[in-house]
């Protein structure tokens, strides 16, 4: 278990990230930060996800005087185009239809900052996710649950019906959930 003499803060409103940190038996407090989370024109997926995690850190550090601060972001890309959180049910349907039978990339970046040492670690991980062919009925039934509405790419791999859409992954499963746990854990050890 990671022990820190400094308080640990997760600057994220994601219930999935909170759950992942609890898996590590971390004692932490959480709060949310609001940023644009927009991918810039011609920005690579890795540059975008790192920049957004770093922007979240800038906002988070305005709220914290002393501690270890964690921010993160996850983006879904298909054909080098970002699939963010759906605006509405029609948008969710469109995204899931595009993902059907195809492989897409999930990029997650985290930024960890120690306010005492001023050390910051920012890293990203990419995972390839392949969906099986989905029927329109499956997509509509999933959308009715409301689950896709707060998730990049309009699906969750971890704890709902969206898991059965995934045929295979190449890379870190937890990265798709929202935080690549093994890499993150080792980065946290280096910063505490």
Any idea which residues carry the catalytic annotation? 73
Count of CB atoms within 10 A of residue 170's CB?
Answer: 11
Helix (H) or strand (E) run with residue 55 in it: helix 45-60
C-alpha torsion sign, points 135, 138, 142, 143: positive
CA angle 175, 176, 180 (to 5 degrees): 10
Crossing angle of helices 136-144 and 89-99, rounded to 10°: 140
Residue 145 is given by DSSP the state: T
CA angle 66, 34, 72 (to 5 degrees): 65
């Amino acid at each position: 278990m990671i022990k820190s003499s400094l308080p640990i803060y997760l600057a994220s409103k994601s219930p999935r990230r909170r759950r992942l940190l609890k898996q590590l038996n971390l004692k932490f407090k959480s709060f949310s930060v609001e940023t644009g989370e927009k991918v810039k024109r011609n920005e690579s997926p890795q540059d975008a996800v790192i920049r957004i995690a770093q922007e979240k850190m800038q906002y988070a550090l305005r709220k914290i005087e002393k501690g270890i601060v964690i921010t993160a972001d996850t983006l879904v890309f298909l054909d080098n185009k970002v699939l963010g959180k759906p605006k509405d049910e029609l948008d969710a349907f469109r995204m899931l239809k595009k993902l059907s039978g195809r492989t897409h990339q999930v990029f997650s970046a985290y930024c960890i900052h120690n306010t005492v040492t001023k050390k910051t670690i920012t890293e990203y991980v990419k995972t390839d996710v392949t969906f099986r062919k989905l029927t329109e009925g499956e997509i509509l039934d999933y959308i009715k649950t409301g689950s896709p509405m707060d998730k990049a790419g309009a699906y969750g791999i971890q704890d709902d019906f969206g898991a059965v859409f995934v045929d295979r992954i190449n890379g870190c499963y937890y990265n798709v959930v929202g935080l690549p746990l093994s890499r993150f854990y080792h980065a946290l050890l280096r910063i505490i």
